[in-house]
Amino acid sequence: MVEKNRALNAAKYVFAIAVAVGVLAPFAWMFVTSVGSARDLAAAPPRLAPSEWNLDRYRAIFTSASKTDVAYAFRVAMGNSLVVAGAVTLAALVAGGLAAYSFARLEFRGRRPLLLFMLFTYMAPPVVFVIPLYALFEKLGWLNSRSALVLLYSSFVIPFIVWVMRGFFASISRSYEDAAAMDGCTRLQALWHVFLPMARPGFIATGILAFLMSWDEFFMALVFTSNLKAKTISVAIAEFNGKFSIDYGMISAGGVLASLPPVIIALAFQKYIVMGMTSGGVKE
């Protein structure tokens, strides 16, 4: 039995290592490509380690002042993505949190059909709405603006937050709500002083996911933006190529920098992600 358990544990470790290598290897190769020379990138067979390491591409991204340079475009696009993703996360948490509380704790006519309709808007493919939305935004003069992207992204991030946080609010015991009412709290006061502190892990977890959904979105940003005024990082990386050649090293450097904010956020709040996805509040 002991030998069988040891063999099973060894197999688990081997499988875990294989999965880790499969997941991390592309990122490691992307970093190697970003710091290698053009000669190393064109070598056959490919070199696992560059002959000379340099950070020229990263330096160009942060220091380039030429508006025609792809490095400058990437820096501006990264700022646009931070602004858009941050605004979407904040707006979605406020609106989605209030809506989730209403669906979980209040009784009103049409609650279930409205909830299912929100689920439909989240599940429907974006390509279905692109043409009418483009025509509408063009008439309103909202094309190529970060505000338009915030509105578009919120339309599919808010339903996601509502569905996740609704279950979180519903799992909190009603005794807390009754106790707050006996102390003279209104519904908004009970939400602020009782439900929000108890639902903090869920809010942090859904906020991180909302940020990632906005940060990685590509299709809407590609359709509704045309220049650096509102272009996001995902679109900028896709355009990291010249007229007659493609700089794979610069593309890799952009990919490394684009992956840093999600990684940093996930590492900083990983405890809350696990709590938000597993606990769900205090059960009855």
The set of residues, in sequence order, having a beta carbon less than 8 Å from that of 168 and lying 6+ positions away, is 100, 104, 199, 202, 276, 280, 281
The number of beta carbons lying within 10 Å of the beta carbon of residue 173 is 13
How many Cα atoms are found within 13 Å in the side-chain-facing hemisphere of 57? 25
Could you state, in order of their start, the residue ranges of all structural domains in the chain?
1-54, 64-278
The amino acid occupying position 159 is P
What distance in Å separates the CA atoms of residue 182 and residue 115, rounded to the nearest whole number? 30
- Residue 281, pLDDT score: 42
- Residue 66, pLDDT score: 75
Q: Tell me if the pTM is above 0.75.
A: yes
CA R_g for the chain:
24
Helix (H) or strand (E) holding 151: helix 146-170
- Residue 241, pLDDT score: 62
Mean pLDDT by 10 residues, the chain (284 residues): 74 90 87 82 74 83 77 88 94 90 84 82 82 90 91 90 84 80 81 82 86 90 88 84 66 87 83 62 43
How far does the chain reach from its first CA to its final CA, in angstroms? Answer: 41
The set of residues, in sequence order, having a beta carbon less than 8 Å from that of 37 and lying 6+ positions away, is 50, 51, 52, 54
User: For the domain 64-278, what is the CATH superfamily, name and number?
Assistant: MetI-like (1.10.3720.10)
Which of 212, 196, 227, 224 has the alpha carbon at shortest distance from 258?
212
What distance in Å separates the CA atoms of residue 229 and residue 237, rounded to the nearest whole number? 16
For 194, which DSSP code? I
- Residue 45, pLDDT score: 74
- Residue 278, pLDDT score: 58
CB contact at 8 A, 257 and 272: no
- Residue 63, pLDDT score: 85
